[in-house]
Amino acid sequence: MSRPRKDPRMERAAHLVPGGARPRFDLAATPATSGRLRRDPRAEERLALVPGTLRRRLDRSQRAPAVSVVAVAAPVEAEAAPRRVVIAEPAFLVALVPDAPGGRLSAHDRQLFGAARLLADAGGGAVLALVDGSSEELGAAGADRVLALPITGYDPEAKALALNAALAALDLRHVLFPESAEGGDLARRLAALSGEPFFAGAESLSPKAVTRAARGRRVEQRRAPPRLLSLAIDAIAPHAGSLHEALPVEFAFPETTGGALLSAEFIPADPARVSLAEADFVVSAGNGVSDLDTFRMLVAALGGTPGASRMLCDAGLMPRAAQVGASGTVLEARGYFALGIAGAPQHLQGVARCEHVIAVNTDLHAAMIERAGLAIVADAQKVMPALLRLLGEEGAP
Amino acid sequence: MRIALLLSAGRHRVSGRPAPVPVELQALRLAADLAQTHGGQSGGTVTGLHAGPEIGPLTDALGHGLGHLVHLRMPAEADPAPALTAALEAGGYDLILAGRSGQGGEDTGLLPYTLARALGRPILADAAALAPGAEAGTLSVEQALGRGARRRLVVRLPALVTVHPAAPAPLPFAFAGLRRGQVEMREAAPSAPAPHEVEERPYRPRPKLIAKAAAGASAAERLKAATVAASGGGKLLVDPAPEEAAREILAHLRALGLIAPR
């Protein structure tokens, strides 16, 4: 935030009453215009006051913000459409190859756009997105140009050959990849194919320097950004604030012949066999569950991966591999369904990265109830058969 | 079937002492299982290859089921790619296995790709299981994707495959295997040191992004993104009937897309 600088001499001169032998100042007169409007803290407080409480309580977050004109003016500015940026004559191109699983940009892909904008905006360059299929969200993500790659199905070698042709012909200054399974594989294929210098897993990036960990994370390597880069996850903030045009670009890719890959077939995960660290949805039992047969049937019916708290594993009722928590497995799951688990701090550490938590527990004040998105204060032993019955009724017709 | 396994000079994750890389021992297990089941009449052989100044504790791989280990001795700063390419070409291997990313060098994971390029062989990444293909001379590779999903790829041999940590655990260490195994030392032809254009400093951990709000967002949005995810702030039902609780749970799970819609 920048404020106009206060100039006391100017202010004094504004109060000067003209005429008369001696200089006279009328300090009560309001100065003409200072650019900054006055805040009225008392009025703001009156608005923030929560009515109907015995003790005086202020709630500054929930209500319409303050009275002052400045504060009213700011949201209007923010709500305006994002600034549209058109780069007609780019000085150079920064290309990026997002993973875009299922045609949608992942969080890592958006961070990649942030990094590409950082490199491009430093010298008037443009960001070129090399994607499999066209997408609506590329302009808002920060792409100035979009080039569709002629790839169908899983064929990384053909994709690398197409990228190599584009790299040679389009004079790309940098090509950025996400350091994910697919993006990292593609980046290394392209690096081996083109012989260009490659910087794997950059952890910080600026137009002048990139850094990465090397030699078992004991050494940090640093250099100017080379032509091929792969970016570690959660290193750079995604791009926001301006809308770019995402103009389609034409490019004649060379014909590729079939590679050594004879067939590729996707096998969805089997939740019953997948390890806890990789599981997407975990159904977990704690000390509040005594009927483990019903629990296993419920896990199978919900299509989840079975987990357990330390209590059950110590008692030998569930295998040690199923233990969730600090001394068991730290989950990366999207959903966690806790049955009869109070939520010891060590258990909550294992659940910390789960997006959605559902808890069933008899104790209203349990930590797991507080953590859950849907919390049910009830006996898990009674809820489990009810769930099974309901699933059975739904499956029957 | 002749299988080569690339071993790198790893360091222990906690103590920092020289040790074999775990994922390479997992690759060894995949290779040993494949050689045993798909050996053919002659029986499969697995050969370990290491290029570097010292073999050190890599001999432990012999105890984990490796029969023969070849050490290509070269200075620490030399580029291992030419020596390994020559050794792999001379060996006539059907399958070359490597870890996801070797250790001891720059840890870029680029070496298997440059070797595949130099040998003119296809490369597949992130294998979690290997099996002989339906046709002779093919290999079926289960590639590990995120969240326990797999992709089954069939590739024509000879090929180079890198192994994912989701592969089965290494074979247990057996001291007799270590005594039985042979280490062969060869002097590698001198090669130019790898070009080194990076500046190196002691490692300093960088802060990771925490808030999920975008860069242009206001401070209030960033605060919201940082705090809302941690606190549940969700729905609370106190003592509902079990049927009602079950209905709520299923509706919630369906809304989140965690179970299939009805």
Q: Which domains does chain A have, with CATH numbers?
A: 45-80 (no CATH), 84-248 (3.40.50.620), 276-395 (3.40.50.1220)
CB A161 within 8 A of CB A261: no
Interatomic CA distance for residues B186 and B73, integer angstroms: 6
CB atoms within 10 A of CB A171: 9
Environment class of B38 (CB within 10 Å of its CB; exposed 0-12, middle 13-18, buried 19+): middle
Chain A residue closest to B163 (CA)? A181
Virtual torsion, Cα A113, A119, A123, A126, nearest 10 deg = -30
Looking at the predicted complex, does its ipTM rise above 0.90?
Answer: no
Residue A336, pLDDT above cutoff 90: yes
Of B229, B242, B252, nearest to A358 by CB-CB distance is B252
3-state DSSP helix/strand/coil percent for chain A, to nearest 5?
30, 25, 45
Per-residue tokens: A93: 């191109």
Q: Is B198 on the interface with A (CB under 8 A)?
A: yes
Residue B262, pLDDT above cutoff 80: no
Of B11, B144, B238, nearest to A216 by CB-CB distance is B11
Sequence letter at residue A323: Q
Q: Residue A131's closest CA among A106, A151, A111, A158?
A: A151
List chain A residues with CB under 8 Å of B110.
Answer: 188, 191-192, 198, 200
CB B100 within 8 A of CB B109: yes
The whole-angstrom distance between residue B219's C-alpha and the CA centroid of its chain comes to 40
DSSP of A27-56:
TTSPPS--SSPPP-HHHHHHHHBPTT-SS-
Band (pLDDT 50/70/90 cuts) for residue A396 is: low
Ramachandran bin of B65, using left for φ above 0, alpha for ψ from -120 to 50, beta for the remaining angles = left
- pLDDT reported for residue A112: 94
Chain A residue closest to B126 (CA)? A181
pLDDT, tens digit (0-9, with 9 covering 90-100), for A106-126: 889 999 999 999 999 998 899
Band (pLDDT 50/70/90 cuts) for residue B211 is: low
| Backbone φ, ψ for residue B75 (5° rounding) | -60, 155
Q: How far is B28 from chain A (nearest CA, A)?
A: 21
| Backbone φ, ψ for residue B120 (5° rounding) | 70, 35
How does the average pLDDT of chain A come out, rounded? 86
Q: Is B259 on the interface with A (CB under 8 A)?
A: yes
Q: Do A378 and B237 touch (CB under 8 A)?
A: yes
Range picked from A35-44, A133-142, B76-85, B196-205 for highest mean pLDDT: B76-85
Q: Do B245 and A378 touch (CB under 8 A)?
A: yes
Q: Is A363 on the interface with B (CB under 8 A)?
A: no
**Bridge pairing between strands B235-238 and A198-202:** unpaired
pLDDT, tens digit (0-9, with 9 covering 90-100), for B96-151: 999 988 888 888 999 999 999 999 999 999 999 999 988 888 999 999 987 888 99
Of B112, B114, B215, nearest to A237 by CB-CB distance is B215
Q: Is A268 on the interface with B (CB under 8 A)?
A: yes
Interatomic CA distance for residues A330 and A335, integer angstroms: 13
Q: How far is A190 from chain B (nearest CA, A)?
A: 9
- Our separate counts of H helices and E strands in chain B read 7, 11
* Domains annotated on chain B, with CATH: 2-187 (3.40.50.620), 208-262 (no CATH)
Q: What angle do CA A167, A119, A221 make, to 5 degrees?
A: 90
Interatomic CA distance for residues A130 and A155, integer angstroms: 15
Interface of A with B in 271-310 (CB under 8 A): 271, 274-275, 278-281, 302-303
